Amino acid sequence: MPPLLFRQKERLQCASLSTRSPHPFSFHCFAPFYSVVQAIMPPKPLDYESLNENVKKVAYAVRGELYLRASELQKEGKKIIFTNVGNPHALGQKPLTFPRQVVALCQAPFLLEDPNVALLFPADAIARAKNYLSLTSGGLGAYSDSRGLPGIRKEIAEFINRRDGYPSDPELIFLTDGASKGVMQMLNSIIRNDKDGILVPVPQYPLYSATISLYGGSLVPYYLEEEENWGLDLDNVKKSVAAARSNGITSSIEQLQCIISACYILIRAMVIINPGNPTGQCLSEANLKEILLFCYRENLVLLADEVYQQNIYQDERPFISARKILLDMGPPISKEVQLVSFHTVSKGYWGECGQRGGYFEMTNLSPQTVDEIYKVASISLSPNVPGQIFLGLMVNPPKPGDISYLKYTAESKAVLDSLRRRAHIMTDGFNSCKNVVCNFTEGAMYSFPQIRLPPKAIEAAKKAGKAPDVFYCLKLLEATGISTVPGSGFGQKDGVFHLRTTILPAEEDMPAIMASFKKFNDEFMEQYENYRGFSRI
Amino acid sequence: MPPLLFRQKERLQCASLSTRSPHPFSFHCFAPFYSVVQAIMPPKPLDYESLNENVKKVAYAVRGELYLRASELQKEGKKIIFTNVGNPHALGQKPLTFPRQVVALCQAPFLLEDPNVALLFPADAIARAKNYLSLTSGGLGAYSDSRGLPGIRKEIAEFINRRDGYPSDPELIFLTDGASKGVMQMLNSIIRNDKDGILVPVPQYPLYSATISLYGGSLVPYYLEEEENWGLDLDNVKKSVAAARSNGITSSIEQLQCIISACYILIRAMVIINPGNPTGQCLSEANLKEILLFCYRENLVLLADEVYQQNIYQDERPFISARKILLDMGPPISKEVQLVSFHTVSKGYWGECGQRGGYFEMTNLSPQTVDEIYKVASISLSPNVPGQIFLGLMVNPPKPGDISYLKYTAESKAVLDSLRRRAHIMTDGFNSCKNVVCNFTEGAMYSFPQIRLPPKAIEAAKKAGKAPDVFYCLKLLEATGISTVPGSGFGQKDGVFHLRTTILPAEEDMPAIMASFKKFNDEFMEQYENYRGFSRI
């Protein structure tokens, strides 16, 4: 019996207990009307059929079909290498000692009065913990201001000033439970309806597509150039804008109708991810200038996702913040373009994903808008306070001469050097595989190889009811335990297929993982290039 | 020069640098068209004028005008007693030792290998920390599953089973960064447009009104009965529903028009806050039964905000969960009514607000809906992991025989006993004041006295451009430093005025605070009862 009928039957049994109120959306429980009632029985408010449609439209590939299948296999006892999420500690990266010491002391402030504390903690960690506790009103257990602790926002402003060479205002820095929450809040403020378009790079991190769906806006994709090491070609952006605006309309009558019915997309914001996720590219100064000029001309907010700013693996392509270039450009652009920049403790050599510490900084937003954003942040009271302390420590680490300086520096350098080596091992490994080409990971923590699937593999995928890249990634998972994300989750050009993997597996495991990948891939290619209608994998 | 003109002028200066693209929403920068351009110059996407209207509609009183003024006064050096937010640690409550020890060890897992660790930490805290770390995949620095760590969801399910006497399924429990985030996610799933109504008690905690505005739904208020110690009278609820549905319509022609234009409100959910915030009442078993039957008949989801379930100050009125009553009622109701219950580490005798640990449990939701909610939770990857550990410790505290049991029990009992005494001191204090009447706080952590303002005070408020209760609370703040929230932030009947204060100031300070309140209030009343057109306060 289908659930709706079952439910209705039970409700009818209850008719003696209650008569339903006669209003336009309810109905009377009389048995003779059984079939009528069946037809009009509304779903319950949290039944799938009656959920907010925007919720249903959300697609989130990073924890999608592949992740769920990998979790199942893990439950069944298979060894899974999770490379689907940039989650370094889950793949064995150890936390940096100093920040953990400071936060542990902040969590247990009674230790600061214990005469044995110095046996377990260095003096600079103790001093730093005391200082952070003095910045709170009630320690880690008290809500902070909804924007975050003023003392930590000040530390962040000083860091930005050192990084960019331009002073930053702590009042324009808001702390969040991870950078994602900040991106979501900002998009919620920008998107008013499905005519509001957000320019998003493709391939893109699905946070953007998912959030734009959730808040009912329109994603306007612009394609990154794989042949140019995933560079951002502004001509592509302009083409995307023109296409979104014309909405596929060619005749002037159609155009008139479109104006009347307001079917044009109004593009309101542009997202850049720098260094790129999943593509790993670092934007050059010239590129950033073009982008900012474009935002100025087109009246767009620039959302600069800069969470990988510490993850740089090529000295000739350093990270440069959008804010620095904006301010370098001088007025009117530097005073006009609205910019929101995001950062986090989850990436870099920290990888403190589970702590959920992030911030955003706003440039050229009016005080009235900042007040509105403050008000909305207030609804959930405050970001988690331990995550705020981590942010403070990230932007203001131990200095030369501090007791913990050498250890901190050695630990963070070791993480970054190893990531750099792994970026090379992975790129080289992919490029040694049949029908696989892969750009070098300049930054961030992902590899995004293109998988050139033979027509017969695409056919086999179609028969299995899967997208070709999903088909490939599922086979890879089943054969090797390597859990990746199919490129379609990030967007890709028609007929071109990728997968994303992180470069995070332990360095010592990397050769074996790449060998296992190569074995699977080359056999797969072999099989489908010589496909005779049955599957051998 | 107004900012819009200023901005335009600067843009024109830049006309030589860039020609704006010719699309329906841009324009050409030619000086002859200056005045035309002025008229059509669109605001920037994050200018106040062009923000998402729902963001602007949000009102959030708890950190509203009073809080901002109090923060200003504090900056100027005035001693402020913040009673506007239920933030116990900010008012001197000390954290419970055992959970902080466990979380500190989880933050600094290297301590577990230090031979000196036993000098600072008891053995059961060490064992517990090791156990929690074994439940994570990578410690506190790794993202957990987006629903939270499976091991902790299991601990919560066991707690719910012990509390209600019915087994609970960990797969239906999702952890969140504080309970507020869970409420927001659930309302985002329910609300589709402004025709979707949510029944909310008035006075209510402004999380609900703010979130309903943010997601573009309609708040349908139902009034709690102040004369019945803020009890929930179901007749009031029914009246509210009828009023919302008829939308003020009386004639049958109007009714027909309304059906055609779909202007009826479809009520989709009912919120209860039990124990009440700001009103402090505990719902009786009979009351909960009525509510659930009503939700069943009217096809409503019940959102049960039970974050104060440990804050109970009257033995004859214990906390009973909505879930227990639902399951007691048996089928069909127990299998039909969709219920989502919320809990947190921020309240109770924990008061760990800054850690942002919350959960919600879903009853009678289909697996497909649970999957959708999981998907949306995935967008921001995972709730903060330390907050999850606190939740585990809250629902599974030390047991008799454990080393830390006696200390833990003594500490938590001391907090609760003191809150109970403070609830009495405060209620009695308010009731000793002129024109103030106050119900006893049965539960939660607030006092919500009614302030009977003389007509002349209301007149003076009008002249000052303030709501009467805001006027009173501002005067109170300036005179005494006591920062409260005006009743209008929570909703109240027309012409009736309240304020909300927490019962959280330190017990030893309480007599002085109440004396200071009484002095201010009685002088205020005296003044405005004998008002002669000038202000003496």
Is A353–B141 a contact, with Cβ atoms under 8 angstroms apart? yes
- What are the residues whose beta carbons fall under 8 Å from the beta carbon of A391, sequence distance 6 or more? A148, A152, A155, A156, A175, A345, A357, A358, A359
| Cβ B203 vs Cβ B279: under 8 Å | yes
- Higher local confidence (pLDDT), B26 or A151: A151
The reported pLDDT for the residue numbered B20 is 37
Nearest residue in A to B11, CA atom: A332
Residues in chain A, total: 537
Is A189–B120 a contact, with Cβ atoms under 8 angstroms apart? no
* Percent share of chain A, pLDDT over 90: 77
For residue A496, which of A219, A223, A234, A222 has the smallest C-alpha distance? Answer: A223
CATH number of A56-82+419-529: 3.90.1150.10
CATH 3.40.640.10 residue ranges of chain B are 151-158+174-395
Is B52–A11 a contact, with Cβ atoms under 8 angstroms apart? no
Residues in chain B, total: 537
Is B177–A356 a contact, with Cβ atoms under 8 angstroms apart? yes
| Cβ B319 vs Cβ B346: under 8 Å | no
Averaged pLDDT for residues A434-454: 95
| Cβ B347 vs Cβ B310: under 8 Å | yes
Written as six digits, the tokens of B353 are: 């607000």
- Higher local confidence (pLDDT), A427 or A204: A427
> Among the listed ranges A108-112, A238-242, A304-308, B107-111, which one has the minimum average pLDDT value?
A238-242
Residue A97 banded pLDDT, cuts 50, 70, 90: very high
Judged by DSSP in three states, A318 sits in coil
Q: Which sign does the torsion angle of CA B379, B385, B390, B391 carry?
A: positive
Residue A13 banded pLDDT, cuts 50, 70, 90: very low
Amino acid sitting at position B23? H
Whether A262 shows a pLDDT value over 90: the answer reads: no
Written as six digits, the tokens of B121 are: 């930490």
pLDDT tens per residue, range A330-346: 999 999 999 999 999 99
Averaged pLDDT for residues A466-488: 95
Strands B482-483 and B81-82: parallel
Question: Within B341-400, where are the H helices?
Answer: 367-379, 385-395
Which of A25, A85, A336 lies nearest to residue B7, judging by beta carbons?
A336
State the best of B381, B382, B389, B445 to mutate against chain A, taking most chain A CBs within 10 Å.
B381
| Cβ B498 vs Cβ B451: under 8 Å | yes
CATH 3.40.640.10 residue ranges of chain A are 154-310+317-395
Is A379–B297 a contact, with Cβ atoms under 8 angstroms apart? no
Whether A241 shows a pLDDT value over 80: the answer reads: yes
Q: What is the DSSP string of A106-135?
A: HH-GGGGG-TTHHHHS-HHHHHHHHHHHHH
| Cβ A144 vs Cβ B90: under 8 Å | no
Strands A436-437 and A450-451: antiparallel
CA distance A264 to chain B (A): 9
For chain A, the helix, strand and coil percentages under 3-state DSSP, each to the nearest 5:
50, 10, 35
CA–CA separation, B224 vs B232, rounded Å?
Answer: 5
The reported pLDDT for the residue numbered B89 is 96
Whether B8 shows a pLDDT value over 60: the answer reads: no
Written as six digits, the tokens of B391 are: 């939740």
Chain B positions touching A378 (Cβ under 8 A) are: 60, 62-63, 210
| Cβ B131 vs Cβ B149: under 8 Å | no
Written as six digits, the tokens of B190 are: 């329910």
CA distance B250 to chain A (A): 14
Nearest residue in B to A52, CA atom: B192
Which of B48, B138, B189 lies nearest to residue A89, judging by beta carbons?
B138
Averaged pLDDT for residues B498-504: 95
The H or E element spanning position A82 is strand A81-82
pLDDT tens per residue, range B373-408: 999 999 999 999 999 999 999 999 999 999 999 999
CA distance B393 to chain A (A): 14
| Cβ B489 vs Cβ B82: under 8 Å | no
- What are the residues whose beta carbons fall under 8 Å from the beta carbon of B279, sequence distance 6 or more? B201, B203, B224, B230, B439, B444, B446, B448
Q: What is the DSSP string of A280-295?
A: -----HHHHHHHHHHH
The reported pLDDT for the residue numbered B462 is 96
CA distance A430 to chain B (A): 27
CATH 3.90.1150.10 residue ranges of chain B are 56-92+409-529
Measured CA to CA in angstroms, residue B18 lies from A67, A167, A290, B35, B442 at distances of 47, 28, 11, 19, 67
* Percent share of chain B, pLDDT over 70: 87
CA–CA separation, B172 vs B175, rounded Å?
Answer: 10
> Among the listed ranges A208-217, A370-379, B288-297, B486-495, which one has the minimum average pLDDT value?
B486-495
pLDDT tens per residue, range B259-313: 666 667 899 999 999 999 999 889 999 999 999 999 999 999 999 999 999 999 9
State the best of B384, B408, B502 to mutate against chain A, taking most chain A CBs within 10 Å.
B384
Is B386–A111 a contact, with Cβ atoms under 8 angstroms apart? no
Chain A positions touching B110 (Cβ under 8 A) are: 97, 100
- Higher local confidence (pLDDT), A204 or B417: B417
Judged by DSSP in three states, A504 sits in coil
To which residue do tokens 């793949």 refer?
A91
Residue B204 banded pLDDT, cuts 50, 70, 90: confident
Nearest residue in A to B197, CA atom: A45
Whether A31 shows a pLDDT value over 70: the answer reads: no
Written as six digits, the tokens of B205 are: 């905690």
The reported pLDDT for the residue numbered B59 is 81
The reported pLDDT for the residue numbered A22 is 35
Is A116–B111 a contact, with Cβ atoms under 8 angstroms apart? no
CATH superfamily of B56-92+409-529: Aspartate Aminotransferase, domain 1 (3.90.1150.10)
Nearest residue in A to B64, CA atom: A375
The reported pLDDT for the residue numbered B226 is 93
Chain B positions touching A355 (Cβ under 8 A) are: 140-141, 384-386
Written as six digits, the tokens of A21 are: 């109120």
Highest mean pLDDT among A253-267, B164-178, B478-492, B494-508: B164-178
Which of B51, B264, B378 lies nearest to residue A372, judging by beta carbons?
B51
Residue A233 banded pLDDT, cuts 50, 70, 90: very high
Is A336–B242 a contact, with Cβ atoms under 8 angstroms apart? no
| Cβ A103 vs Cβ B107: under 8 Å | yes
The neighbour count for residue B233, using CB atoms within 10 Å, is: 15
Residue A168 banded pLDDT, cuts 50, 70, 90: very high
CATH 3.90.1150.10 residue ranges of chain A are 56-82+419-529
Is A46–B338 a contact, with Cβ atoms under 8 angstroms apart? yes
For residue A280, which of A395, A201, A207 has the smallest C-alpha distance? Answer: A201
Whether B250 shows a pLDDT value over 80: the answer reads: no
Q: What is the DSSP string of A393-434?
A: HHHS---TTSTTHHHHHHHHHHHHHHHHHHHHHHHHHHHTST
Which of A25, A48, A375 lies nearest to residue B60, judging by beta carbons?
A375
Is A20–B372 a contact, with Cβ atoms under 8 angstroms apart? no
Written as six digits, the tokens of A438 are: 């892969």
To which residue do tokens 């204090």 refer?
B429
Residue B5 banded pLDDT, cuts 50, 70, 90: very low
Cross-strand pairs, A273: A305
Which of B89, B332, B333 lies nearest to residue A141, judging by beta carbons?
B89
For residue A153, which of A179, A172, A125 has the smallest C-alpha distance? Answer: A172
Q: Show the CA angle centred on residue A206, arms to residues A200 and A207, nearest 5°.
A: 90
The reported pLDDT for the residue numbered B64 is 75
Which of A85, A120, A384 lies nearest to residue B387, judging by beta carbons?
A384
> Among the listed ranges A245-259, A311-325, B140-154, B283-297, which one has the minimum average pLDDT value?
A245-259
- CATH C-level class of A154-310+317-395: alpha beta
Considering only the C-alpha atoms of chain A, give the largest distance between any 2 of them, rounded to a whole number of Å: 87
- What are the residues whose beta carbons fall under 8 Å from the beta carbon of A239, sequence distance 6 or more? A222
CA distance A525 to chain B (A): 33
CA–CA separation, A55 vs B47, rounded Å?
Answer: 27
Whether B54 shows a pLDDT value over 50: the answer reads: yes
Nearest residue in B to A63, CA atom: B378
Judged by DSSP in three states, A86 sits in coil
To which residue do tokens 């605001």 refer?
B43
Considering only the C-alpha atoms of chain B, give the largest distance between any 2 of them, rounded to a whole number of Å: 87
Written as six digits, the tokens of B312 are: 């109970």
Judged by DSSP in three states, B288 sits in helix
Judged by DSSP in three states, B222 sits in strand
Is B384–A384 a contact, with Cβ atoms under 8 angstroms apart? yes
Task: Indicate the average pLDDT of chain A.
Answer: 89
CATH number of B151-158+174-395: 3.40.640.10
Nearest residue in A to B12, CA atom: A332
CA–CA separation, A503 vs A445, rounded Å?
Answer: 5
CA distance B534 to chain A (A): 34
CA–CA separation, A405 vs A122, rounded Å?
Answer: 11
pTM score, whole prediction: 0.90
Phi, psi of B42 (to 5 degrees): -80, 150
- Contacts across the A-B interface (CB distance below 8 Å): 377
* Percent share of chain A, pLDDT over 70: 87
| Cβ A93 vs Cβ A351: under 8 Å | yes
Is A52–B190 a contact, with Cβ atoms under 8 angstroms apart? yes
Nearest residue in B to A300, CA atom: B45
Question: Within A64-198, where are the H helices?
Answer: 65-75, 97-107, 117-120, 123-135, 150-164, 179-190
Measured CA to CA in angstroms, residue B506 lies from A175, A371, B96 at distances of 29, 32, 16
Chain A positions touching B238 (Cβ under 8 A) are: 21
To which residue do tokens 């506007």 refer?
B84
Q: What is the DSSP string of A192-235?
A: -STTEEEEEEES--THHHHHHHHTT-EEEEEE-BGGGTTB--HH
- What are the residues whose beta carbons fall under 8 Å from the beta carbon of B442, sequence distance 6 or more? B229, B275, B280, B281, B282, B312, B313, B314, B317
- What are the residues whose beta carbons fall under 8 Å from the beta carbon of B395, sequence distance 6 or more? B155, B156, B158, B159
Whether B35 shows a pLDDT value over 90: the answer reads: no
CA–CA separation, B347 vs B344, rounded Å?
Answer: 7
CA distance B317 to chain A (A): 28
Averaged pLDDT for residues B343-359: 97
Nearest residue in B to A390, CA atom: B141
Is B380–A105 a contact, with Cβ atoms under 8 angstroms apart? no
Is B53–A192 a contact, with Cβ atoms under 8 angstroms apart? yes
The reported pLDDT for the residue numbered A343 is 98
